[in-house]
């Protein structure tokens, strides 16, 4: 999400992206960020920002021309609701992907089954919500988050919502034409 924000805001030359080795004992990355989570943005004054949502908001405001802020008033709350719904889907798919990355002996069939069921419920939910005007208007964090979630789901090649979610699939195909998404989310809309 942060790399897409960098492209959208034209900041890719101002932020150095360094791959981090996580989930290993004594990774040097833990000296930079003790929680070990990525992404992590280190500001010029040494302050660290953790969590995609916070980092994206910070980057969006760097040029004093935020493009991804939520609207004001009731539409702002609706925008936040849609972003949270997309974030819930992304969180579940991320848990599932991490579980599948473990060795077969370490995987939990219970967690995998739970996340598959959650993904199916979220696909059905988004089939109804993706037609919301905020999902086709100005590019926003709800769209960005949902696009990342769908890209990961497609990349995992374990659950394909396309046959059951034609509206969501059509939305993903439209989003896949956006230059920043086309570059960084190659599985979106396929």
Give, for 38, the enclosing helix (H) or strand (E).
none
One domain, residues 99 and 177? yes
3-class SS of residue 40? strand
Q: What is the pTM of this model?
A: 0.88
Q: Can you give the CATH number for the domain in which 49 is found?
A: 3.40.30.10
Residue 83 CA from chain centroid, whole number? 10
| pLDDT tens, residue by residue, 145-158 | 999 999 888 877 66
Structure tokens at 12: 């890719």
Give the span between the Cα atoms of 190 and 176, in whole angstroms.
9
Does the residue 67 lie in any domain?
no
Largest interatomic CA distance in the chain: 50
Structure tokens at 50: 């953790």
Q: Can you give the CATH number for the domain in which 97 is found?
A: 1.20.1050.10
What total of structural domains would you count in the chain?
2
Q: Is the pLDDT of residue 190 over 80?
A: no
Host domain of residue 165:
73-184
Q: Is the pLDDT of residue 44 over 80?
A: yes
One domain, residues 52 and 87? no
Does the residue 98 lie in any domain?
yes
């Amino acid at each position: 999400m942060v790399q897409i924000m960098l492209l959208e805001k034209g900041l890719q030359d101002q932020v150095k992206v360094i791959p981090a080795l996580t989930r290993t004992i004594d990774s040097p990355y833990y000296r930079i960020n003790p929680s070990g989570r990525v992404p992590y943005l280190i500001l010029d004054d040494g302050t660290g920002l953790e969590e995609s949502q916070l980092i994206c908001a910070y980057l969006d405001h760097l040029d004093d021309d935020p493009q991804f802020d939520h609207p004001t008033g009731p539409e702002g709350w609706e925008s936040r609701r849609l972003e949270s719904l997309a974030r819930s889907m992304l969180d579940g798919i991320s848990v599932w992907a991490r579980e599948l990355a473990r060795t077969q002996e370490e995987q939990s069939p219970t967690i995998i089954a739970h996340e598959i069921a959650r993904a199916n419920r979220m696909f059905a939910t988004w089939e109804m919500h993706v037609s919301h005007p905020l999902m086709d208007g100005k590019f926003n964090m709800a769209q960005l988050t949902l696009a990342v979630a769908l890209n990961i789901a497609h990349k995992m090649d374990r659950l394909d919502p396309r046959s059951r979610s034609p509206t969501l699939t059509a939305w993903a195909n439209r989003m896949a034409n956006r230059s920043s998404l086309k570059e960084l989310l190659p599985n979106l809309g396929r």
